[in-house]
Every structure is written in C-alpha cells, then in structure tokens.
Amino acid sequence: MMASSTAISANAASEGVKIEHLGVNNTLVRVESDGKYLMMPVQESNDDATVNVVVDGNLERTIFVRLAKSKVDYTVPFDLTPYKGHDVILNIVTSQSRSSVRDAQDDACWGNFSVADSFNTDNREKYRPAFHHAPKYGWMNDPNGMVYKDGVWHLYYQWNPYGSKWQNMTWGHATSTDLINWKQMPAAIEPNGLGAVFSGSCALDPRNTSGFGSNSIVALYTSAATSQVQSLAHSTDNGKTFEIYPGNPIITLDSEARDPNIFWNHHTGEWNMMLAHALEHEMLVFASENLKEWNLRSSFGKGFGAQGGVWECPDLFELTVEGTGEKKWMLICNLNPGGPFGGSAAQYFIGDFDGTTFTPDTDADGKVPTKWMDFGKDHYATVSWSDAPHNRRTVIGWMSNWQYAAEVPTMQFRSANTLPRDITLFRAADGQIYVKTLPAAEIEALRKKSIHSSKSFSVNKNSRQIALPSANNGICEIILNIDAKKAGNVTLELGNKLGNKVTMIFNPEESTISFDRRESGIVDFSQDFPAVTVAPTFSDKNKLSLRLFIDRSSIELFDTDGKFVMTNLVFPQEPYTTLSVKSDNKAQISGLQIFPLNPASL
C-alpha cells in the first residue's frame, strides 16, 4: 500500500532525510539530499530493526540495525555513493512493542538520521589496541580468508559494518606489508541472495585450475541463511573486490557445515578442503581439481580431542618438526564451547595426511591427545595465511571469546586480533609433537629503546618493583629469564595505583604458569570474564624465559622459545604502571628488558 498523506511526518531534526511513519512497526526514511553516507543511529541494547534498502523502487538489500529507541550510542554509516542520482528509501520494520504510531514516533533514532559527506573513523576509545589489528568501527569476529600476494598480507575478517555486535556478516578487509601496520579497505564480500558471508579461505591459483585466471585470488566461504552452503568467488584486482560465482552454492549438505578451508596439495596435485561439520564434531575432507566441483573423501574428529559444542574454522597444513626435518600435518579445529577455560578455543591435532584421510598421532597409551594452541581465554578462530612467503606458516586469531565478546567495554568497535604468529613444530620430552608459536619477527620494529636493562638480580619474598613505561598508555614488550633455583613459585605482577592487577605465577614444580585477571580492572560485564588461566611451561631445570606484549586491553604471554602462548584480554581502569617480581624462595632474574612500543598505524 502506498504511504498516504495521513502518514505522520516527524522530527524535523533529521538532516537530509524525510521520515514517514506508516504504522506501529513500520517507517520509511527517504534520502532527500546528496551526500556520501546515510548515518544511522544505534542503541546497542535495542533489538535489530529490519532495514530494507529500496533503490528506485527495487529492493537492493536488507540489513539489520539496532536502531536507537531511548538514546543514541553511536551512528553507523550506510554508503550512498553507489546510488548517487537514484532514489533511496529505507523501508524499516522494527520489532518494538508499541501501542500506537505516536509511540513509535518517539524513538530516538528518527531525529538522528542524517546525510553526511564524511564519517570520522578516528577512534579514541581507551581500550582500542595500539598495535593489534582491529576494525575502525563495527563488530569483528573470525579472521578468515587470509592470503599473501605480491608483498601484501591480506586479512579478511567477519565484520558487521552496521553496529558493534554480531550481525550482517560481511568480509571486512585490511592489508599490510609488514604484519604490523594495517590499512582498512572497503568491504570485500557482502551478503547476497544466498545469505550472509561467513568464514572461509582464499588461495592463489597460479595453475589456473579454476579458469578464473592465473593471477586471481579464489575465495571459498559459507553462505548462511536458513541453511549453510558453500560459495565461491574470485578476485582479479588483488583481493579488493570479488566476483561471486554464478553457480553458487557449490557444496550443499543436509546438515550444518561451514568455514571451508582450501589449499593446494602439492603431494597429490589437487585441491583439498576441510569443512567444519559443526554439530557432528568433525571436519570433512574434500578434494577438487578445479575449485568448483568437490568430492567428499573422509571425515575426522568424532571421538577425538575436546568435542565441545560446535567445531568451526578448520585449517590443515604441513610443517617441519624443528631440528629433525621430519614433516607432519597440523589440523586446527576451533571449537565453541569446550575450551580449557570455558567458551571458545583453538585445539589442534598432529598427524599424517595423504590427501584423503587425516590420521592423528597417538601418545604412549595409544590415545589421541588433546592439544591447545593457546592457553588464555581470548584466542579463537585461528587460521593461517595462504601462500605466505619463505615457507612461513603465519597464523592470527580472534582475540576474544564467544562467552563475552559482545559485552566487552568498547563501543565504536568490538574485538581485535592477536599478534600475527609464526608456527613450527617441536618434539617435547613426553615424545609428543607440539606447536611452537612465536610472535612474527616484524613486531620488533615497534620497539623503542629499552627503559630497563638491569643485569641479573635475585628476588625473594619481598617483591622488587620495576616501573613500566607511561607513554602511549604504557604499551610495551617485556622480556625476562627466570631461574627459580630451589623450585619455589615465582610471581610476576602488573599493577596500578587503583589496585588493578594481573598476577602470573610460575610454578616450577608443576611446570606451569598461571595468569589471574580476576582483579585486572573492569571484569564485571560478564561472569565468565574473571578467570585464572594456566599453561604448561615445558620447562626443565626450573628455568623459564618470557616475552610479554602489553597493549591497551590485552596481554600476550609467550615462552621465548615458543613452547606455549597465553592470550588474555584485560580492561585496566588505568594502564598498569609497575611490574613487581617476587619468589617463595630465592630466584634469579636475568636479561630483563622493557621496551616501550610505538603505536602501529591501524
């Protein structure tokens, strides 16, 4: 039915738009002036409104936006530039319970739509990372589809451009030439008729097996609507834009399956894909000659490792066991929930793969051991870059946890990624092969001159206090070696004058290190946030060497040799200013260096 002249026009405050209320839950927003963006007012605690974007009378797309009811938290831009010269109307259906149109008219959003030529993405939020990739605005979860091409590291990610909670899944895109500084690019793949664009992967196709051209980047991703199906797209402009394959979907199953991860298997001369059979706790193995037609070969997972809730975001690749030349395959199986400290986490299996079947290694008892890539709470959906140079296997993870990702105290953006990490394998004293994880070497370029380089000193029950840098909210890297001598616990504490603290305890007897963030700052936004996480240190002779990266809202604790890593978010009310070190018995600390870091360009 046409909007009649009796529709109530409201809120003269809106700029460049005309608002027409059609009913208690239905309003038209007409764009009436030229400009690059239609700014939409969001209130995070509100439900999603269904926003149908109608261009020249045709439905262009439907997005879901938490339009403001009682107050505006922030505004998000809808890009009008593709529709310049055309009529744009938002036909909005809200889901509020209201008794009359007059009631609906009072919503805070209507007076706060505007047409603007610029959108300021400068983000001065206190907890915005200074050297970890984060979107300029909007929600982010999984990094996915990462590929390296011609000197550029492409990072795609699950992005909501229209709010800081999960919705409207789109492949966001950032590029870097050094894995430190990231440039935000326009969205790479947007929702279409088959659904939202969930996680997937990219690969170069130099043999032109797909026929899309030898210089193209091929992407596989999950189209998610009522069901989840697998789709194909390719880019001929170095990953900036993707052309959607008209034959999509290319894989359909009668059960939930997602996050296709593809790679060229140079042993067999064909493509392989791992696909998460989410509710079945298994990864499906497919093979293909042309990236379009896929054959199901086998599955792996049922009954192995942590089973948890859903299995998601697989990755499979071959690595060398350090010092031996032995080759093994590493299969990453992210799962949620079921992580070692609750919620989501990344587990992995080491084994063999012949292009058809993944066969996991067993331990001395013939069992398949459960292994974790990271021993913190905030490391998920970790996958690797395809086609990285110099045989590198570089991974990055989402630095959050599905338990509370949507509640963390940020606003204009939500979630960052871990530092990029290079992985190889090592064989430990228990005979098992584990992943070895080091921060990408490029990160050292952020170091300023060390503000502390004491020679060796000893600590006992009285703690030794060391000042942390103050510039740039205290972002820094700390390196130190601990010799716990008589096997007493050694405690490292990061603290500030407000009493916010993070306590890390090296227990040499048990070969563990724990990380207690229960008093780290703001912790009350979720009952699952205050926590103690524990990592095995694999240390012998009571020694441990650590590298800590402290950003504005995260701490990554690496074993210097890469035998474990632990990633935890923290939200201190003020930056931590002091490192204190103490020991139950006498312990020796050597090689302590504290490097203030330069912020990256993000």
Residue 301 Cβ, how far from ligand FRU at the closest point, in Å?
Answer: 15
- Rounded to a whole number of angstroms, the distance between the first and last alpha carbons of the chain is 47
* Nearest residue (CB) to ligand FRU, 259 versus 483: 259
Instruction: Identify any residues that bridge with 425 across adjacent strands, giving them in sequence order.
Output: 321, 435
Q: How many residues does the chain have?
A: 602
Residue 169 binds to ligand FRU (criterion: CB under 6 A) = yes
Q: How many residues bind ligand FRU (CB under 6 A)?
A: 12
Q: Among 11, 43, 112, 141, which residue interacts with ligand FRU (rule: CB under 6 A)?
A: 141
Residues 231-270 touching ligand FRU, rule: CB under 6 A, are 258-259
For 452, residues 6+ apart whose C-beta sits below 8 A from its C-beta are: 466, 467, 592, 593, 594
Residue 415 binds to ligand FRU (criterion: CB under 6 A) = no
* Nearest residue (CB) to ligand FRU, 199 versus 545: 199
String of contacts with ligand FRU for each residue 338-377, x by CB under 6 A: ----------------------------------------
Residue 197 Cβ, how far from ligand FRU at the closest point, in Å?
Answer: 9
| Dihedral angle sign, alpha carbons of residues 365, 367, 373, 376 | negative
Enzyme catalytic residues: 142
Residue 131 Cβ, how far from ligand FRU at the closest point, in Å?
Answer: 23
Q: Judging by DSSP bridges, how do beta strands 587-596 and 457-459 pair with one another?
A: antiparallel
102's enclosing H/E stretch is helix 101-105
Residue 244 Cβ, how far from ligand FRU at the closest point, in Å?
Answer: 17
Residue 484 binds to ligand FRU (criterion: CB under 6 A) = no
Q: Among 222, 410, 437, 491, which residue interacts with ligand FRU (rule: CB under 6 A)?
A: 222
For 226, residues 6+ apart whose C-beta sits below 8 A from its C-beta are: 195
Residue 142 Cβ, how far from ligand FRU at the closest point, in Å?
Answer: 5
* Nearest residue (CB) to ligand FRU, 158 versus 386: 158
Give SS3 for 72.
coil
- Give the number of other Cβ atoms within 10 Å of residue 518's Cβ: 12
Edge-to-edge order in the sheet of strand 270-277: 258-265, 270-277, 282-288, 295-300
Copy the structure tokens of residue 4: 């009649």
* Nearest residue (CB) to ligand FRU, 90 versus 257: 257
Q: Among 137, 139, 198, 242, which residue interacts with ligand FRU (rule: CB under 6 A)?
A: 198
* Nearest residue (CB) to ligand FRU, 378 versus 483: 378
Closest CA to 310 of 341, 345, 340: 345
**Phi, psi (5° rounding) for residue 238?**
60, 45
Give SS3 for 443.
helix
Closest CA to 424 of 557, 561, 312, 556: 561
Residue 158 binds to ligand FRU (criterion: CB under 6 A) = yes
Residue 199 Cβ, how far from ligand FRU at the closest point, in Å?
Answer: 3
User: For binding to ligand FRU (CB under 6 A), which residues are involved?
Assistant: 141-142, 158, 169, 198-199, 222, 258-259, 312-313, 381
